[in-house]
Amino acid sequence: MSEPDLWPEDWADPRPPDSVRLVVPEPRLAVAQATPPPVPTWRPRDLEDVLDGTYTPPQPTIGRRNDGIGLFYPGRMHSVVGESEGGKTWFALMAVASELAAGNAVVFLDFEDDAPGVVGRLLALGASVQDIRDRFAYIRPEEPLTVGINRLEIGQALNDLRPTFVPVDGVTEGMAMHGMELKDNTDIAKFGRMLLRPIAEMGAAVATLDHVTKDREGRGRYAIGGVHKLNGINGAMYVLENRTPFGIGLTGKSTVRIAKDRPGQLRRHSLPHSSGMHWFADFVLKSHDATFTEASLYPPVENDAPFRPTALMQKVSDALVGAPEPLSVRGVQDRVGGNKDAVRTALARLVDEGFVVVEPGARNAQMHRVEKPFTEGDESRASPPSPTVP
């Protein structure tokens, strides 16, 4: 299919008088009376601010980590990727709630969910009903942007609200809707020029929410589809690695890593990691019930505590719980199996943290029994304020 000639100035054109208007909140800022002509991009650029030292690099000011560090760069394209139910939408909505609380506007473009799901999560995060009415627009496309007056519809919403943040959920579905091939780098670039880049050029931070491949070992920094999904990003790309599942009544956790930071202002607030990506934050979502959820984005903390093989610790704890009497080290090893040194390490951590107690046995043997059962992800031990998961 041919690519439409779509630019931000087209989106500011007044709509036909007989068109069907998009239902959006009352405009916070008036639509510009006249759109300035585009700057010729093939003209040599003025480099004076770079040469005289007055140039200031872009700063991430959209959304907030708990220590105040921003997440997204205004006027740039970003991506948040992760496994299904890894917290991508919650991560974006936390930034949405932050922007609304700061008095800014947001347009949420959704190819995947529905309005009750998105707005319900926003309310659970503490966003006010009035802020949502006044400065939040939800768009759920069901036909291509190129059909009818759809381009004018979204343009009107963007010009009425002048959002600082525009999440785009379901890029795969959005490309399929427009007849574009997910693995074709040319189509990925076309989708960016058709929809994402014009929004960013209006000044908003754009963040696509995308899936990763199922292969944990081979996925690296990439989302599903062509490599241009990463190459076309001129802001930051975050990868969410889920540690404990999210759900109503649960406390879910994901590690947030930086796969790309084009302006280079975020990595200095993160820690290097063996994966080649930087550890930016721990995303923790504590759901009290369907109507109240606490979201926190903890900065990374150097962890000098002893190694905690939590999965193996749970196996050792389960073996001790299931045994009819206290077990020796060998008895634990026989029931758990695997590497004996690793089992010893897990048992020692359980003893150190008070989950297992040691009692004298026959012929001076050390016998182990469970004081309190251990489950993977248990936070009852003494720990730093941030749930650090490198």
The DSSP-derived string for 252-278 is EEEEEEEEEETT--SGGGSEE-TTSSE
Residue 23 has pLDDT above 50, yes or no: no
Give me the pLDDT at residue 239, please. 94
pLDDT (tens digit, 9 = 90+) per residue, 73-122? 999 999 999 988 889 999 999 999 999 999 999 999 999 889 999 999 99
**Residue 241 and residue 171: Cα distance in Å, rounded?**
19
pLDDT for 32 equals: 40
The CATH 3.40.50.300 domain(s) of the chain lie at: 8-298
- Decide if pLDDT at 123 tops 80: yes
pLDDT for the residue numbered 387: 45
For the chain, give the mean pLDDT.
Answer: 83
pLDDT, residue 73, reads 98
- Which segments of the chain belong to CATH 1.10.10.10? 310-370
Q: What is the CATH number of domain 310-370?
A: 1.10.10.10
Alpha helices in the chain (DSSP H): 8-11, 48-51, 88-101, 115-124, 129-135, 150-161, 171-177, 185-191, 197-201, 228-231, 310-322, 329-336, 340-352
- Residue 47 — pLDDT band, cuts 50, 70, 90? very high
Is the model's pLDDT at 220 over the cut of 50?
no
pLDDT of residue 273: 81
Q: Which pLDDT score is estimated for 36?
A: 58
pTM value surpassing 0.75: no
Q: pLDDT band for 212, please (50, 70, 90 cuts).
A: confident
pLDDT at res. 10: 52
How many CB atoms sit inside 10 A of residue 323's CB?
15
Judge whether 237 and 81 are in contact, CB under 8 Å. yes
* Fold (CATH) for 8-298: Rossmann fold (3.40.50)
For 305-321, the pLDDT digits (tens) are 666 788 889 999 999 99
* pLDDT at residue 138, as a whole number: 97
% pLDDT > 90, the chain: 61
DSSP 3-state assignment of 241?
Answer: strand
pLDDT value of position 238: 96
Over the stretch 331-388, which tens digit does the pLDDT of each residue have? Answer: 999 999 888 888 988 999 899 889 999 998 888 888 999 999 998 765 544 333 444 4
The confidence band for 214, taking pLDDT boundaries of 50, 70 and 90, is low
Q: Which long-range contacts (CB under 8 A, 24 or more apart) does 374-382 make?
A: 374/313, 374/314, 374/316, 374/317, 374/350, 375/314, 375/317, 376/310, 376/311, 376/313, 376/314, 377/243, 377/244, 377/253, 377/310, 378/310, 381/353, 381/354
Q: What is the mean pLDDT of residues 113-136?
A: 95
Q: For residue 255, what are its two tokens?
A: 């590690």
